[in-house]
Structure 1
Amino acid sequence: MTDDRQDRIRQRAHEIWEQAGRPEGAHQEHWEQATAEIDGAAAKPKKTAKKAAAKPVKADAKPKAAKPAAAKSGKAKSK
């Protein structure tokens, strides 16, 4: 294990321990969680600025209806 990776895991495990209320006897679980987070973050590709700036879809948004074939061909129907 590289020193930098071990330091990052140690720091993250400490943060997890503090967030959990500093319980005694949970150091192994905190270390494993920190290891998974650090290794998982390194394995995932970083988002590009374009993807991060993408417009979110509203949960209640309805999909747009497809236009009739006549409207697509330039022959609009009259109402």
Structure 2
Amino acid sequence: MTMTDDRQERIRNRAHQIWQEEGQPAGHHERHWHQAAADVDREDAGSPSTGKKPAKKATAVGKAKAAPKEEKAAAKASKPKASKPKKAAK
């Protein structure tokens, strides 16, 4: 097996792994291939194995970021304060 064949096989295996991690979506083979090639190139360059992290699913919805403190304070200030019930006179 030549060096090029070995690289192609590594890319093929990595692309398959990416495809599986993303839930086996149809029609994304080119993106998976290019991502896999970049991962293999990074490995060959001696960079940390950043390609080993699972890819995010394309259909996943990210968590909403927390509102900045100023927005939270403004929202809190705009809410009407609940008043305590008054004691009945005897």
Give TM class, smaller chain: 0.5 to 0.7
* Unmatched runs of 5 consecutive residues or more in structure 2: 49-90
Aligned residues: 46
What's the offset of the Cα at 1:45?
5.8
The structure that has the greater radius of gyration is 2
CA distance in 1, matches of 2:5, 2:14: 14
* Structure 1, gaps ≥5 residues long: 47-79
Using the alignment, how far apart are the partners of 1:5 and 1:45 within structure 2? Answer: 16
CA distance in 1, matches of 2:44, 2:32: 18
Deviation sequence 1:10-59 (CA, Å, 0-9, x none): 0000000000000000000000000000011101267xxxxxxxxxxxxx
| TM-score, structure 1 normalization | 0.54
Scaled by the length of structure 2, the TM-score of the pair is 0.48
Q: 1:3 and 1:10 mapped to 2: Cα distance?
A: 10
What SS does structure 2 have at the residue aligned with 1:2?
helix
Q: Which runs of 4+ in 1 moved over 6 A?
A: none
CA distance in 2, matches of 1:29, 1:35: 10
Q: Aligned-pair RMSD on alpha carbons?
A: 1.7
